[in-house]
Amino acid sequence: MFRRICSFAVVAIVAMTAPALAYAQSADLVLCDRVAADPSDPDKPADVKGVPEIAASDITTAIKYCKNAANGSRRAMYQLGRAYAANRQMPEAIAAWRKASDKGSTSAMVELGVLYGTGAGVARDEAQARKLFERAAEAGNPRGVSNLAALGGGAGATADPARARELLSKAAETNAEAQYQLGMMLAEGNGGSRDDAAARALFEKAAAQNHPAALERMGAFSQEGRGGPKDSDAAKAYYQRAAALGDEDAKKALERMRCPYAIKDKRGNVVTNLCF
């Protein structure tokens, strides 16, 4: 990783012409994306994998290159906030997210909304949290939709999962995270009737885009025969793909498939498992 980073940096700064400087910014953004992109960020390019959490070993790199790219990219500004937050520099993270939000980053709006909703690093302000979630939701951000639904319609109001379904349906036309979240609502009967077949179809769409949690759900649905055919081999393959992307539930599911039989003592405590 470090060698590749160095090679990019060297290529970016070798020449002193204006085109070379433009390329340097582009290289900074590429490196920022590589170590700090959010998999659920609607601004993230399709060919960028993203990381659920920025690795401790990558924080310094993320801050450096995202800061370099931030002035020309709201995505980089949002990712700079992620890097600061991972480094426990919350005032800097909040400042970066405010700038990214002002430029239209819906993911930054969601992060700020979470902070206002919980009172973490800022004075708690539910009205401001709702305003930020609404802006993000109206722009199609799935996390904005789900957080708005959880917050409810107003002071003392209950959540509106039916409205969340409606908003997610629009975002799910193109967004993997929305497809996954809408699939979960359909699978659980939240906000309307339960529909395993429709949930499975949505999980399959998100899984095709390498959404880790959707891959795990496809594994579970294939293993159980929910919403479609039962297929243990397909389930295992889905779990393996999800596990490779870091999904902990998928890792546990693979272990259960490998060691399905539990031997218990007289008190019902598991003593050991029989594995294949």
Q: What is the pLDDT of residues 239-254, one digit of tens each?
A: 999 999 889 999 999 9
pLDDT of residue 267: 83
Across residues 139-160, what is the average pLDDT?
70
Q: Would the pLDDT of 176 be above 90?
A: no
Task: Identify whether the C-beta of residue 253 lies closer than 8 Å to the C-beta of residue 216.
Answer: yes
Q: Would the pLDDT of 12 be above 50?
A: no
Q: Would the pLDDT of 13 be above 50?
A: no
Cα 70 to chain centroid distance, Å, stands at: 20
Half-sphere exposure of 2 (CA within 13 A, CB side): 3
Give pTM, 2 decimals. Answer: 0.64
Report the relative pairing of strands 261-264 and 270-274 from DSSP bridges. Answer: antiparallel
Q: How confident is the model at residue 68 (pLDDT cuts 50, 70, 90)?
A: very high
Token pair, residue 51, equals: 């990381």
Task: Identify whether the C-beta of residue 66 lies closer than 8 Å to the C-beta of residue 89.
Answer: no
Cβ neighbours of residue 63 closer than 8 Å, sequence gap 6 or more: 80, 83, 84, 87
Cα 117 to chain centroid distance, Å, stands at: 19
Q: What are the residue ranges of helices labelled H in the chain? A: 2-13, 18-36, 59-70, 74-86, 90-102, 106-118, 126-138, 142-151, 161-171, 176-188, 196-207, 212-224, 232-244, 248-258
pLDDT of residue 133: 92
Give the separation between CA 136 and CA 114, rounded to whole angstroms. 12
- Express each pLDDT in 180-217 by its tens digit: 989 999 999 988 999 999 999 999 999 999 999 999 99
Q: Would the pLDDT of 149 be above 80?
A: no
Q: Average pLDDT of the chain? A: 86
- Report the run of H or E that residue 272 belongs to, with start and end: strand 270-274
Q: Would the pLDDT of 171 be above 70?
A: yes
Q: Greater confidence, 179 or 24?
A: 179
Q: Would the pLDDT of 127 be above 70?
A: yes
Domains of the chain: 1-100 (no CATH), 105-159 (no CATH), 171-276 (1.25.40.10)
Cα 274 to chain centroid distance, Å, stands at: 35
pLDDT of residue 140: 83
Give the separation between CA 150 and CA 248, rounded to whole angstroms. 24
Give the separation between CA 85 and CA 48, rounded to whole angstroms. 21
pLDDT of residue 275: 76
Across residues 17-43, what is the average pLDDT?
76
Q: How far is CA 114 from CA 23, 50, 118, 141, 216, in A?
A: 35, 21, 6, 14, 26
Give the separation between CA 42 and CA 64, rounded to whole angstroms. 23
Q: How confident is the model at residue 167 (pLDDT cuts 50, 70, 90)?
A: confident
pLDDT of residue 14: 31
CB atoms within 10 A of CB 139: 14
Task: Identify whether the C-beta of residue 215 lies closer than 8 Å to the C-beta of residue 247.
Answer: yes
Type of residue numbered 35:
V
Q: How confident is the model at residue 236 (pLDDT cuts 50, 70, 90)?
A: very high
Q: Which of 11, 13, 21, 61 is nearest to 37 (CA)?
A: 61
pLDDT of residue 227: 97
Encode 244-258: b = buried (16+ Cβ within 10 Å), e = exposed. ebebebbbebbeebe
